Chains A and B, each alone.
Chain A
Amino acid sequence: MSTIENLKTFDPFAEADDDAGAAQKKQGQDYIHIRIQQRNGRKTLTTVQGLPKKFDQKKILKVIKKKFACNGTIVADSEMGEVIQLQGDQRKDVQEFLVAKDGLELDAKTIKVHGF
């Protein structure tokens, strides 16, 4: 009897998208986008957009700058939030860093690398 009572605690007709929907939405939006842009000449710019909020962007930037020997800044975009901007094509390095064990240990599936 008690088990049946237990089963009832989950109401299948409750607001369905309360839980699952929100989670799904989050997953869909939680992609980290690594992009590249051309500047003048053969100079390029790498942007990292959508890093999880739990990380301190400044610290990450500091590590990245040191590690990949490039300069960079954090740009606060009204829509996209804080975006890390790096000089040069750092896409591969950043991607590896985000996934690496001694990096942020993120899921590779959440990272989208754009560009050519």
Chain B
Amino acid sequence: MAEVEQPLPERKARKSVAFSEGATIMDENGNISESAQDGTKSTAEKHSSPSIDQGVEEVTKQMEGADMFAGMAKKKKKSKKTEDADGEAPAADGEFDPSSLKKKKKKSTKPKDDDFEAKLAKAGVEGAPEAENEQAVDQDGDWEKGTGIWSHDNKTPIAYPLLLDRFFELINHFNPDILSSGSRSYKIPPPQCLREGNKKTIFANIAEICKRMKRNDDHVIQFLFAELGTSGSVDGSKRLVIKGRFQQKQIENVLRRYIMEYVTCKTCRSPDTELSKGENRLYFVTCNSCGSRRSVQAIKSGFTAQVGKRKRMQG
């Protein structure tokens, strides 16, 4: 079992690194754009982190299959442990919970030590349903206030789903961005496109988007122009004026390609990367999560046809 179990914590550890990194970006971003985590929560641009219930559903969906679930149960307990070890800021539950948790842990861990693996696995699987049955007993109380089953000297075992709920609520509360970054989707605010006159498009929130991607405005603009086969300028309030008529969806597509090419880490898919000019005029994307480094192509606009004025030879 030990051998089987080992990969799990390892994987978890790596994840947690990514998470913490993610959290730091958010902090940086938060500092720049807004104030704190609460601020990030409320802004429309950052997609609101999924509510707890959704989070739970997501996880269960991801980990379909019984084996996976059994594994998850164990995992969850572990993460609980660490969480408790960290010590939660809100006083009440932090103190009292571990007792009931320990009880649960003992239940599942004792046979582990004595018996052998198959039995273990069984115990692990059986553990969950048991808890669910007990749920019927009485699961009242507010864990935030520490009342009912959550109160300090209450010995009632707490149902697994409730613990899960609390787990996700805690995560959500302290690190609102973990759940979102964990789901591997990377969200940027949608580009705001306005029409200027008949022939120009204004890309209003490019500065914001660049900040979110942690990329240089000029680099992004260069890419946009190269891809759209056009040119333009930046106006007084840092908006990009693009020649030609473009819809939001089109700009979005180009941005998506930019992110794929120049932002996401190809190894771990983390968007937390840095673009730097290395030796030999090559650009490198360095990942802040896993540390991998890859070279990226310089932006080339390639051939652009003469549009409009005819047959004007270039000097």
Please determine whether A40 and B308 come into contact, CB atoms closer than 8 angstroms: yes
Is B302 in the interface zone, CB < 8 Å from A?
yes
- For the A-B complex with A38-B307, A77-B303 known, give 14 more contacts whose Cβ atoms are closer than 8 Å: A35-B303, A37-B304, A37-B305, A39-B308, A40-B199, A40-B308, A80-B303, A114-B226, A114-B227, A114-B229, A115-B228, A116-B227, A116-B249, A116-B250
A36 to B176 CA separation, bound complex (whole angstroms): 41
In chain B, positions 265-315 with a C-beta closer than 8 Å to chain A are 302-305, 307-308
Min CB distance A79 to B, Å, is 8
A39 to B243 CA separation, bound complex (whole angstroms): 10
A37 to B243 CA separation, bound complex (whole angstroms): 11
Please determine whether B303 and A116 come into contact, CB atoms closer than 8 angstroms: no
Is A47 in the interface zone, CB < 8 Å from B?
yes
User: How many residues on chain B are close to A (CB under 8 Å)?
Assistant: 21
Q: Is the interface of A mostly helix, strand, loop or mixed?
A: strand
Min CB distance B274 to A, Å, is 24
| B residues near A45, Cβ cutoff 8 Å | 305, 307
In chain A, positions 18-76 with a C-beta closer than 8 Å to chain B are 33, 35-40, 42, 45, 47, 49, 75
Please determine whether A35 and B229 come into contact, CB atoms closer than 8 angstroms: yes
| A residues near B305, Cβ cutoff 8 Å | 37, 45, 47, 75, 83, 85
A85 to B308 CA separation, bound complex (whole angstroms): 15
Is B245 in the interface zone, CB < 8 Å from A?
yes
- Cβ proximity bits B221-251 to A, threshold 8 Å, 1 near / 0 not: 0000011111000000000000111100111
Given A38-B244, A45-B307, A116:B253 Cβ within 8 A: yes
A39 to B226 CA separation, bound complex (whole angstroms): 15
A21 to B244 CA separation, bound complex (whole angstroms): 41
Is B254 in the interface zone, CB < 8 Å from A?
yes
Given A33-B302, A80-B303, A85-B305, A38:B230 Cβ within 8 A: yes
